[in-house]
């Protein structure tokens, strides 16, 4: 996708998306130099601040740091000299997301402050910035060069081709070793990714920027989101704390909430909600959990009046099928099969029998891949069927009530 210019301020001063992007001297003048306390002190602040991963998983950053520290202690005992690696993950393969690129372009020094702090927390001796070639990576590279004389831990750039799964944690680790940016299996979900036998702490760029603000004792910024609609290209926005889905849509386009029928929340691998269910929910894991969704990486894709939710879903699942890293059979065979069945339904073909085969195809991909890519596609399809049952019924009868009345 195209990289986005930082969006204009919806409210007040923006902490994550300042314009223009500050150079190091302005950054330090504005926020002060990054404090680099001892490892345990960084961890205490992270824990107290309740920092969670903004790449989409919302895992506790403190828990992730703890896991890397524990694994690093074991790795060192086995082979002395093996220090963990930290990675700033700027790979944003999600086509409907642009917030990481906007953030990295607007606040590269904040991200790199966070990277140094993360390195401090786990005792890392080297760091990488992982991302796709483009303005965001260029901004991070220029910032890293500018501050290299002051940064205690050296930072290396790893540019990888744009791909949906290139930002998976194990793909970041693999690329850092010089391999392809593709996921690899790990013994258990939640175990740290590894680079050459040492654990790697991989944190999304927004998580790192928030870490740098938290350690400075600054208030936590509100959600950073990317909003798009059929007639609205993806737009990155920093919202006020406590913002609801409605606020995010309205910040992108004032009358978008009024003409939205349903929202795909969390991205291509997300959850469809009707406008009624979604609009007044707070944009947080807690706010969205009661309706079975998560903000994921802060992606909101609105299906507006006159848009077929099932056709949109078909396009999304086809995209996910084409994005399979083709390493795992149930993923590269199962996702195209699933996409074909959603396309049949969206076209008003297939009938009840096709719908039964579609439900079966969803079950066939769940949990069956080295990464959660197939599960994401399953979630999007299952939630579409649940959110718009009337549309499904109309399509079974061979017509789309929304587009072809």
Partner 1 sequence: MSGRRPAADARLTVDWTACEGRGVCAELLPEVLTTDPWGYPLPAGPGPDGTPRPWPRRDGLPVAPASVADARRAVRMCPRLALRLEEDARRRA
Residues that bind ligand SF4 (CB under 6 A): 165, 183, 324-328, 331-332, 369-371, 373-374
Among residues 201 and 371, whose Cβ is nearest to ligand SF4? Answer: 371
Residue from 9, 59, 60, 327 binding partner 1 (CB under 8 A): 327
Q: Give me the least distance between CB of 169 and ligand SF4, in Å please.
A: 12
First CA to last CA distance, the chain: 32
Nearer to ligand SF4, 172 or 325 (CB): 325
- Residue 328 as a binder of partner 1 (CB under 8 A): the answer is yes
Of 282, 333, 336, 351, the one binding partner 1 (CB under 8 A) is: 333
Q: Which does 334 bind (CB under 5 to 8 A by kind): partner 1, ligand SF4, none?
A: partner 1
Picked from partner 1, ligand SF4, none, the partner binding residue 8 (CB below 5 to 8 A depending on kind) is none
Other CB atoms within a 10 A radius of the CB of residue 257 amount to 21
Q: Judged by CB under 8 A, which stretch of 80-88, 152-160, 270-278, 328-336 contacts partner 1?
A: 328-336
Distance CA 276, CA 213 (A): 35
Per DSSP, the three-state class of 317 is helix
Q: Which two tokens stand for residue 402?
A: 């929304």
User: For residues 183-242, which are near partner 1 according to CB under 8 A?
Assistant: 184-185, 188-189
| Cα–Cα distance list, 199 to 64, 103, 152, 169, 390 (Å) | 11, 26, 20, 11, 49
Tell me, by CB under 8 A, how many residues bind partner 1.
25
The reply on whether position 133 binds partner 1 by CB under 8 A is: no
Strand order through the sheet with 155-159: 155-159, 126-131, 85-89, 198-204, 193-195
367 binds, among partner 1, ligand SF4, none (CB under 5 to 8 A by kind): partner 1
Contacts of 3 (CB under 8 A, 6+ apart): 98, 101, 102, 105, 134, 135, 136
If contact means CB under 5 to 8 A according to the sort of partner, which of partner 1, ligand SF4, none does residue 375 touch? partner 1
Q: Cα 180–181–186 angle (5° rounding)?
A: 100
Euclidean distance between CA atoms 90 and 114, whole angstroms: 13
Site map for partner 1, 339-378, x if CB under 8 A? -----------------x--xx-xxx-xxxxx-x--x---
DSSP annotation string for 87-113: EEE-----TT--HHHHHHHH-HHHHHH
Which one, 47 or 368, has the nearer CB to ligand SF4?
Answer: 368
Q: What is the DSSP letter of 300?
A: E
Give the residues lining the site for partner 1 (CB under 8 A).
Answer: 184-185, 188-189, 327-331, 333-334, 337, 356, 359-360, 362-364, 366-370, 372, 375
């Amino acid at each position: 996708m195209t990289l986005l210019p930082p969006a204009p301020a919806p409210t007040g001063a923006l902490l994550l998306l300042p314009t223009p992007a500050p150079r190091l001297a302005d950054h330090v003048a504005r926020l002060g130099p990054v404090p680099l306390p001892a490892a345990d002190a960084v961890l205490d602040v992270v824990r107290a601040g309740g920092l969670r991963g903004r790449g989409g998983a919302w895992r506790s950053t403190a828990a992730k740091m703890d896991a890397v520290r524990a694994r690093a202690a074991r790795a060192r005992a086995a082979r002395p000299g093996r220090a963990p690696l930290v990675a700033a993950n700027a790979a944003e393969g999600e086509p409907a997301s642009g917030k990481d690129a906007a953030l990295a372009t607007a606040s590269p020094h904040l991200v790199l402050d966070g990277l140094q702090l993360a390195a401090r927390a786990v005792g890392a001796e080297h760091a990488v910035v992982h991302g796709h070639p483009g303005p965001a990576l260029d901004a991070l590279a220029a910032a890293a060069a500018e501050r290299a004389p002051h940064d205690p831990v050296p930072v290396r750039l790893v540019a990888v081709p744009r791909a949906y799964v290139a930002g998976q944690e194990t793909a970041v680790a693999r690329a850092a070793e010089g391999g392809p940016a593709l996921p690899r299996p790990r013994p258990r979900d939640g175990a740290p990714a590894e680079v050459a036998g040492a654990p790697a702490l991989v944190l999304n760029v927004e998580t790192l920027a928030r870490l740098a603000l938290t350690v400075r004792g600054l208030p936590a910024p509100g959600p950073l989101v990317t909003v798009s609609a059929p007639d609205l290209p993806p737009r990155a926005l920093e919202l006020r704390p406590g913002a609801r889905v409605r606020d995010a849509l309205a910040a992108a386009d004032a009358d978008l909430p009024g003409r939205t029928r349903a929202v795909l929340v969390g991205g291509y691998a997300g959850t469809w909600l009707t406008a009624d269910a979604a609009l007044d929910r707070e944009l947080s894991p807690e706010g969205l959990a009661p309706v079975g969704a998560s903000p994921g990486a802060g992606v909101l894709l609105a299906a507006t009046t006159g848009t077929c939710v099932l056709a949109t879903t078909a396009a999304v699942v086809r995209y996910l099928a084409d994005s399979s890293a083709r390493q795992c059979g149930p993923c590269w065979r199962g996702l195209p099969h699933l996409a074909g069945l959603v396309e049949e339904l969206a076209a008003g073909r297939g009938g009840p029998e096709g719908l039964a085969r579609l439900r079966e195809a969803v079950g066939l991909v769940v949990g069956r891949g080295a990464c959660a890519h197939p599960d994401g596609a399953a979630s999007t399809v299952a939630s579409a069927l649940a959110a718009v049952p009337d549309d499904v019924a109309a399509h079974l009868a061979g017509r789309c009530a929304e587009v072809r009345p």
